Chains A and B, each alone.
Chain A
Amino acid sequence: MTDLYESQRAMRNMRKAAMQRGVIALLDIGTSKIACLVLRFDSPGGTEGEGSLAGHAAARVIGAATTRSRGVRFGEIDAMAETERAIRTAVQAAQKMANTRVDHVIACFSGAQPRSYGIEGAIELQGDQVSESDVGRVLAACDMPPIGHGREVLHAQPVNFALDHRSGLSDPRGHAGARLAVDMHLLTVDDTAIQNLIYCIRRCDLELAGIASSAYVSGISSLVEDEQELGAACIDMGGGATGVSIFMKKHMIYGDAVRLGGDHVTRDIAAGLQVPMAVAERIKTFHGGVHATGMDDREMIELGGDSGDWEKDRRQISRAELIGIMRPRVEEILEDVRAILDAAEFEHLPSQQIVLTGGASQIPGLDGLAARILGQNVRLGRPMRVQGLPQAATGAGFSSVVGLALFAAHPQDEWWDFEIPAETMGGRSIRRAIRWFRDNW
């Protein structure tokens, strides 16, 4: 736990250093594409003490690049060297567009089996008012759930503060009270996935300045403010994994992922029609859908091929057949998402908006299908505008990387943003001794 605190804190310091320098790269390591944005902060350091506790800054995008992902499966790095090359390609192109060198990277990924925990802690206040150290103490007082071996905490965000009988405080500092309690949302992922990511980014001569869950950041970018406030689920349908994040009162309160995505649909098409993956992807993109109509029986799609067998190369299928292949897989994904939402008790939220985003959400007719499976309030989401974002990167597939830009500019307070109190730190014996002296003399 302390190791993690230290490493996350080191990443925070790196992020601060990057903000001082004014340039940071954002990397979305997805299964089908790797997107890289280069962000420039106009006011390094930002305006302190406004809004979030960690400060924020005005930022704009000065470089953007996308490349086909390699060596990534289910949103996790599978072949290190391949992924490293893909990251190099994307970062180099983005650097070239930005015409500057980038040293710090904030990365996000969707896989690694995220798991959500809600934890709580409470302390008696020492003074009359809540101070910053009290916030640190109450965060440290949370009981650590058994997250299991080989798991790592990715996000640990205080979601709600309660002071005596008052709950729902977003920033308790300065309030008067006696007993401070906190609800914290903990998102854990597989340890090895993070290690692999760190290794890949180190190999590219870059410094990792932060890691985020793709589900979380796409929720930041594609949910509008009232949806985040009143309760909504963001479903980020990527290539290899579908992330689910539930927001309430502008905080993520639940995050999970389904290990299914658009690549599985492509794979089904390739297997079902006996065509290469690239052709299957192309057919899916141009002719795909989930609702078959009478017109679709008449629209013929030439499959092509260069096997030399005339019969095989001249095959044609109707669009209805394509839809027949795609729909069961899309339904399966949505049903898994539904199971996650049920497990998270999504139906108890005041507003049950569901926002579909991510590259695979662009299948025509998906909102209708999702409305049947997930609930009535379904809309398709695109990332919100970030200054300087190129037109090519405004589609639904870029919601997580745009979310990273928002995450970098307006970081959420996390547990490691606060000083951990001295008594819980193992090695700080001198500070403990000083404290003992101060308390007893």
Chain B
Amino acid sequence: MRSLTRLPLFAAADHRGGVAAHVYQRARRPGTRDPAPSRLSFRLQRLWLTPAVRALTRIGVPVFIVVLGLGVWLGDQGRRADLIAQYQDLKDKIEHRPEFMVSLLKIDGAGPEVSRAIRTMLPAQLPASSFDLNLDAYRDTIRKLDAVADVTLVIRPGGVLEADVTQRVPAILWRKPQGIEMLDVTGHRVATLLTREARPGLPLMVGQGADKAVPEALRLIADAGPILPRLRGLERVGERRWDLVLDHDQRIMLPEADPQAALDRILALNTAEDLLARDFTVIDFRNKDRPTIRLSEHALDAFRQVQSDSLKVRASQ
């Protein structure tokens, strides 16, 4: 299969003046070998063209070598520990870069006691890396404080951890055998109060389970506008209904269902007949179809006197 080359022409035109002739000669290449592939190379090439073999050598063998090398290298305990230590070191270095450090805790919207409590709850000593601060856990811890309704934690650039606290607002006082608690509108505890005089503006309630009906109590208080100056407090009876306790040892027993309507009715009666100015001990409104008034002893005596007098007068006539 050697190529034929065209040699330069020695005699371009012959003696007969003919067309330029062509010379052909074999290119000399000593020791040319058989161009046919040997049986071995033929077989090897066919093997190489087999898809399975190809896939095995192109993917299987490199993967095997890499896995084997890694396995041998990591087989040693010391090398493995070194590698892990290096990794940890690198991780620490990156985490403790100044860009990621938190150096200041700024608390908004909280009183001094709450602020102090939040500061002591901080899981790490400042300055600390922001990777070490688990803000979700910290937020949950802060929310466990009774005085805190909600808190938002943000890490601001410059390494400031900003805690935006929404405090619970006390709405009512609850006298218990152990002392006085302040509750917010939902009935959640805010703080303990040592004396009633510390918060004279807040209404008072007593009785077991009163904290579970705080919204209802607040509605009743809001409704009871005209008699508010006389109102001493509310009492939860049997964890189901309210008594309005007025001064002069008077009380109004409200029904379990719809106490507001009952109160409105009493207030209407009061406006019409000046009911509350009478000398009674209890107005029982528990059954709204059959309201009852219990007079005081003095009033009862007077009532009887009046009745007997009138009887006498009638008899004497």
A residues near B, CB below 8 A?
67-68, 85-86, 88-89, 91-92, 95-96, 99-101, 204-205, 276, 278-279, 282-283, 286, 298-306, 314, 316, 318
Segment of B39-47, B64-72, B237-245 in the binding face: B39-47
A95 surroundings in chain B (CB, below 8 A): 45-46, 49
In contact, B49 and A88 (Cβ under 8 angstroms) = no
In contact, B36 and A204 (Cβ under 8 angstroms) = no
A283 to B21, CA, bound (A): 12
In contact, B37 and A89 (Cβ under 8 angstroms) = yes
B16 at the interface (CB under 8 A from A): yes
A316 surroundings in chain B (CB, below 8 A): 14, 18, 21
Indicate whether A99 sits within 8 Å of B49 (C-beta atoms), given known contacts A68-B1, A278-B26: yes
In contact, A101 and B50 (Cβ under 8 angstroms) = yes
Known: A68-B1, A85-B34, A92-B42. 20 other contacts (CB 8 A): A67-B35, A86-B36, A88-B42, A89-B35, A89-B37, A91-B42, A92-B45, A95-B45, A95-B49, A101-B51, A205-B46, A276-B26, A279-B24, A282-B4, A283-B24, A300-B19, A302-B9, A302-B23, A304-B7, A304-B25
A239 to B208, CA, bound (A): 119
Indicate whether A300 sits within 8 Å of B24 (C-beta atoms), given known contacts A85-B34, A89-B37: no
Closest B residue, CB atoms, query A301: B21
| Tally of B interface residues using CB under 8 Å | 28
B residues near A, CB below 8 A?
1, 4, 7, 9-11, 14, 16, 18-19, 21-26, 34-37, 39, 42-43, 45-46, 49-51
A266 to B1, CA, bound (A): 17
In contact, B42 and A204 (Cβ under 8 angstroms) = yes
Indicate whether A88 sits within 8 Å of B36 (C-beta atoms), given known contacts A95-B46, A282-B24, A304-B25: yes
13 contacts across the A-B interface (CB closer than 8 A): A88-B37, A88-B39, A88-B42, A95-B45, A95-B46, A205-B43, A300-B19, A301-B22, A304-B7, A305-B25, A306-B25, A314-B10, A318-B18
- The 3 closest A-B CB pairs, nearest first, are A302-B21, A85-B36, A101-B49
B4 surroundings in chain A (CB, below 8 A): 278, 282
B19 surroundings in chain A (CB, below 8 A): 298-300
A303 to B16, CA, bound (A): 16
Q: Which of B10, B14, B21, B24 has the most CB of A within 10 A?
A: B24
A282 to B50, CA, bound (A): 39
In contact, B22 and A96 (Cβ under 8 angstroms) = no
In contact, A89 and B11 (Cβ under 8 angstroms) = no
A301 to B50, CA, bound (A): 50
A368 to B23, CA, bound (A): 30
A345 to B7, CA, bound (A): 52
A306 to B25, CA, bound (A): 8
Chain B, interface SS category: loop
In contact, B45 and A300 (Cβ under 8 angstroms) = no
B42 surroundings in chain A (CB, below 8 A): 88, 91-92, 204-205
Minimum CB–CB distance for A37 against chain B, Å: 16
A211 to B35, CA, bound (A): 27
Indicate whether A300 sits within 8 Å of B18 (C-beta atoms), given known contacts A68-B1, A88-B42, A278-B4: yes
Q: Which of B4, B37, B42 has the most CB of A within 10 A?
A: B42
Minimum CB–CB distance for A123 against chain B, Å: 47
Closest B residue, CB atoms, query A86: B36
Minimum CB–CB distance for A393 against chain B, Å: 18
A278 surroundings in chain B (CB, below 8 A): 4, 26
Minimum CB–CB distance for A300 against chain B, Å: 4
B16 surroundings in chain A (CB, below 8 A): 300
A86 to B49, CA, bound (A): 20
Minimum CB–CB distance for B48 against chain A, Å: 8
A169 to B267, CA, bound (A): 117
Closest A residue, CB atoms, query B2: A278
Closest B residue, CB atoms, query A68: B1
A101 to B35, CA, bound (A): 20
A204 surroundings in chain B (CB, below 8 A): 42
A204 to B25, CA, bound (A): 34
In contact, A304 and B23 (Cβ under 8 angstroms) = yes
In contact, B14 and A300 (Cβ under 8 angstroms) = yes
A314 to B34, CA, bound (A): 31
A298 surroundings in chain B (CB, below 8 A): 18-19
Q: Which of A100, A303, A316 has the most CB of B within 10 A?
A: A316
In contact, A299 and B18 (Cβ under 8 angstroms) = yes
A68 to B2, CA, bound (A): 11
Closest B residue, CB atoms, query A93: B37
In contact, A100 and B36 (Cβ under 8 angstroms) = no
Closest A residue, CB atoms, query B9: A302
In contact, B11 and A314 (Cβ under 8 angstroms) = yes
Closest B residue, CB atoms, query A203: B39
Minimum CB–CB distance for A203 against chain B, Å: 8
Q: Which of B11, B18, B25, B36 has the most CB of A within 10 A?
A: B36
A304 surroundings in chain B (CB, below 8 A): 7, 23-25
A100 surroundings in chain B (CB, below 8 A): 49, 51
B45 surroundings in chain A (CB, below 8 A): 92, 95-96
Closest B residue, CB atoms, query A96: B45
A316 to B46, CA, bound (A): 49
A95 to B54, CA, bound (A): 14
A89 to B7, CA, bound (A): 30
Indicate whether A92 sits within 8 Å of B37 (C-beta atoms), given known contacts A205-B46, A300-B16: yes
A276 surroundings in chain B (CB, below 8 A): 26
A305 to B21, CA, bound (A): 14
A305 to B7, CA, bound (A): 11
Minimum CB–CB distance for B114 against chain A, Å: 77
B26 surroundings in chain A (CB, below 8 A): 276, 278
Minimum CB–CB distance for B8 against chain A, Å: 12
Minimum CB–CB distance for B65 against chain A, Å: 25
A338 to B174, CA, bound (A): 130
A205 surroundings in chain B (CB, below 8 A): 42-43, 46
A283 surroundings in chain B (CB, below 8 A): 24
Closest B residue, CB atoms, query A315: B21
Minimum CB–CB distance for A138 against chain B, Å: 43
A101 to B21, CA, bound (A): 47
Minimum CB–CB distance for B205 against chain A, Å: 89
In contact, B14 and A89 (Cβ under 8 angstroms) = no
A86 to B14, CA, bound (A): 41
